[in-house]
Amino acid sequence: MEWGDTLVLRLENVGLRYGDGPEILRDVSFAVRTGDFYFLTGPSGAGKSSLLKLLFLALRPTRGTLRIFGEDVGSLSHSNLPTIRRRIGVVFQEFRLLDHLSTYDNVALPLRVAGKSESSYRRDVMDLLDWVGLAEKSADLPPVLSGGEKQRAAIARAVIAKPQLLLADEPTGNVDPVLAKRLLHLFLELNRLGTTMLIATHDKGLVRQAERPVLHLEQGALNLQ
Partner 1 sequence: MKPGAIIPSTAASLTSLTVTMAVMCYLACLAIGALILVDRAVTSWTSGLSREMTIQVRMMRGTDIVQEVEKARAITAAFPGVVSADILDESEGAKLLEPWLGTRSLEGLPVPRLIRVVSDTANPPNIPALEEALLQVKGARLDTHQKWEAELTRMARALSAVSYAILLLICVSAIAIVIFATRAVLQANRHIVDLLHLVGARDSYIARQIDGRFLRTGLLAGFIGVGLGLFTFLLLGLLGGGSESGVAAASRGLLFSTPSIAIWSYGLLFAVPGAATLICLITARVTLMRRLGVAT
> Are 150 and 98 within 8 A, CB to CB?
no
Residues 84-113 that bind Mg ion (CB under 5 A): 93
Cβ closer to ligand ATP: 40 or 73? 40
Of 210, 165, 192, 211, nearest in space to 54 by CA: 165
What are the residue ranges of helices labelled H in the chain?
A: 48-55, 81-85, 103-113, 118-131, 147-159, 177-192, 204-210
- Tell me the residue type at 40: L
Q: How far is the CB of 34 from partner 1 (least distance, A)?
A: 20
Of 220, 225, 200, 167, nearest in space to 41 by CA: 200
Q: Does 163 bind ligand ATP (CB under 6 A)?
A: no
Q: How far is the CB of 114 from ligand ATP (least distance, A)?
A: 28
Distance of CA 37 to the CA centre of its chain: 12
Of 76, 84, 18, 73, nearest in space to 49 by CA: 18
Of 72, 52, 36, nearest in space to 164 by CA: 36
Q: Does 65 bind Mg ion (CB under 5 A)?
A: no
Q: Does 107 bind ligand ATP (CB under 6 A)?
A: no
Q: How far is the CB of 31 from ligand ATP (least distance, A)?
A: 21
Q: Does 50 bind Mg ion (CB under 5 A)?
A: no
Q: How far is the CB of 127 from partner 1 (least distance, A)?
A: 15
Query: Which partner from the list partner 1, ligand ATP, Mg ion, none does 186 bind, CB cut-off 5 to 8 Å by kind?
Result: none
Chain contacts with partner 1 (rule: CB under 8 A) = 56-60, 78-79, 81-83, 85-86, 90, 96, 98, 100-102, 104-105, 108-110, 112-115, 118, 139, 157, 161
Total of chain residues touching Mg ion, rule CB under 5 A: 2
Q: Does 26 bind ligand ATP (CB under 6 A)?
A: no
- The angle, 0 to 180 degrees and rounded to 10, between the axes of the packed helices 103-113 and 147-159 is 20
- Residues interacting with Mg ion, by CB under 5 A? 49, 93
- Residues interacting with ligand ATP, by CB under 6 A? 18, 21, 24, 42, 44-50, 93
